Amino acid sequence: MTTPVQGKSTNVADVIVVGGGNAAFTAAHAAVTRGRKVLLLEKAPKDQFGGNSYYTAGATRIAHNGLEDLQDFIEFDERHKLSEVPPYSAEDYAGDMAKVTEGRNDKELTEVLVTEAAPGLRWLKSLGLKYRLMYERQAYSREDGTFLFWGGLHVGNVDGGEGLMKDHLAVAEKLGTEVRFEQDVFALIVEDGTVKGVKVRQSDGSVQELRAESVVLGAGGFEANPELRKEHLGEGWENAKVRGTPYNHGAMIQAGLEIGIAKGGDWSTCHSVQWDAFTAKNESNRELTNRLTRQSYPLGIIVNNLGARFLDEGADFRNLTYAKYGREILKQPDSVAYQIFDANLRPMLRSEEYEMPGISEVVADTVEELAEKINVDAASLAKTITEYNGAIDTSIPFDPNVLDGRASKVTPVKSNWATPLATGPFYAYPVTCGITFTFGGLKGDTEGRALNEEGQPVPGLFVCGEMLGGLFSANYPGGSGLAAGVVFGRRAGNLA
């Protein structure tokens, strides 16, 4: 239903939230539970709502003291009694943030993130969201039938990103938040230095002015805008595949800059992953969502179409390397690479990603036949695999649950989980660069207030989610994006 143009003195709500993902809905929940009247404006149609959050696996990184500490808010599972979930402290969390960003993360934002992520999930659980241990993604079954969780990322939403966003929408409806879809918000209304509302372009081209006491921006980055990707990330990035929502074109980032909000974070890097290169409809696929990622690469090797390795597949746990390796693949010839496994490794690959319908999978009885099928020089691929196999220290036991130090000392080295590729059939999975979200955004403080070039808060305006720059640079610890959306969305909603 089209809302008539509002008079300048009339507010449609106390708080307008722009965006429709995890951060935006969290901000809305926080505001409405304070008694605020909230209007949430989502650019997508209802059948495509959810922002990037819908396309995630739902993994959310929090600090905790082990399984007993988690049981008050995760769904019961019979496997809990067979599971070991190592504690993951706030210090571990902050250390991983600093390590993967090479120290370029905002320390104040990081401190808030690591201390408030777990309380934020418990609060959302109290409202109606559902969480569980992520057995299929973050643990391997051991020979005795027990499970050991690894990498610090243990908790996720029931039914992944789809379940996360359906739960958020249900909570919003229960709390009385008004949600409008197909709302093309493109500008902010500013009067006497204070943000008073937004301008919304309707499908017929007309423009509405919607006013409120506060506006919260949670509308994502610019990853779906090929021109801005090329401008800020560099040549070639216009060719990256968009993993998530096709609606994140950066319009509200630009709207913030136009009223004097400062840029925040690293505009030259982004979250990008190994993504199925050739499956039909491998962008913004709401049916397959995150299953187009290829995340079992630490077990095997990755080669380019010249048959050469070009990175350390086992440098660290997948959670701490996956968000930067899409960039490395984009640099390769034709921006394509191949994950290679043998028959012994194939059963260990994530079934949700490697056994889905229509997957780009190539199978052959020999390495030479595999090379021919993927149009890679057979001699080059055979040489790469032979050298890799021959340089593995097989005296060290293979253990995918820990950094086992079982290296192949070739160039580049594979630091952990090196296993000979020797038993046919052999498998190749073609991957390219899938962009998730951009790290650069608007500058905000720890309370979620948007800041101008002088570092002062702009009255009436808040920022959260992927629009909030400063937490990430170059790389990203898995699950920290959804966690940041919860923490800073909640903080913004608590003030708005």
Mean pLDDT in residue range 105-118: 98
- Residue 74 DSSP one-character state: B
277-317 per-position pLDDT tens digit: 999 899 999 999 999 999 999 999 999 999 999 999 999 99
Residue 233, H or E segment:
helix 226-233
Band (pLDDT 50/70/90 cuts) for residue 10 is confident
| Residue 144 reports pLDDT greater than 70 | yes
| Residue 203 reports pLDDT greater than 90 | no
In order of 135, 300, 452, the CA distances from 122 in angstroms are: 20, 37, 33
Looking at residue 202, what is its pLDDT?
86
Helix 160-175 and helix 107-127, axial crossing angle in degrees, nearest 10: 70
Half-sphere exposure (Cβ direction) of 206: Cα atoms closer than 13 Å: 8
E runs forming strands in 93-130: none
Mean pLDDT in residue range 70-97: 98
Looking at residue 227, what is its pLDDT?
97
| Residue 5 reports pLDDT greater than 50 | no
Q: Which residues pair with 444 in a beta bridge?
A: 450
Mean pLDDT in residue range 47-68: 97
Residue 339, H or E segment:
strand 337-341
| Residue 1 reports pLDDT greater than 50 | no
Residue 446, H or E segment:
none
Max distance between CA atoms of the chain, in angstroms, equals 76
Q: What percent of the chain has pLDDT over 70?
A: 98
- Residue 363 DSSP one-character state: E
In order of 109, 214, 261, 335, 362, the CA distances from 453 in angstroms are: 18, 20, 6, 38, 52
| Residue 7 reports pLDDT greater than 50 | no
Mean pLDDT in residue range 223-252: 97
Compute the mean pLDDT over every residue in the chain, rounded to the nearest whole number: 96
| Residue 114 reports pLDDT greater than 90 | yes
DSSP string, 160-214: HHHHHHHHHHHHHHHHT-EEE-S-EEEEEEEETTEEEEEEEE-TTS-EEEEE-SE
Q: Which region, left, alpha or beta, applies to residue 103 given φ > 0 means left and ψ of -120 to 50 means alpha? A: left
Mean pLDDT in residue range 247-260: 98
- Helical spans, DSSP H, in 72-159: 90-100, 107-127, 135-138
Looking at residue 9, what is its pLDDT?
55
| Residue 34 reports pLDDT greater than 80 | yes
Whole-number CA gyration radius for the chain: 23
337-346 per-position pLDDT tens digit: 999 999 999 9
Phi, psi of 33 (to 5 degrees): -75, -10
- Residue 43 DSSP one-character state: S
| Residue 140 reports pLDDT greater than 70 | yes
Domains of the chain: 15-221+439-495 (3.50.50.60), 271-434 (3.90.700.10)
Cis status, amide bond into 425, omega within 30 of 0: yes
Bridging pattern class, strands 207-211 and 194-201: antiparallel
346-405 per-position pLDDT tens digit: 999 999 999 987 889 999 999 999 999 999 999 999 999 999 999 999 999 999 999 999
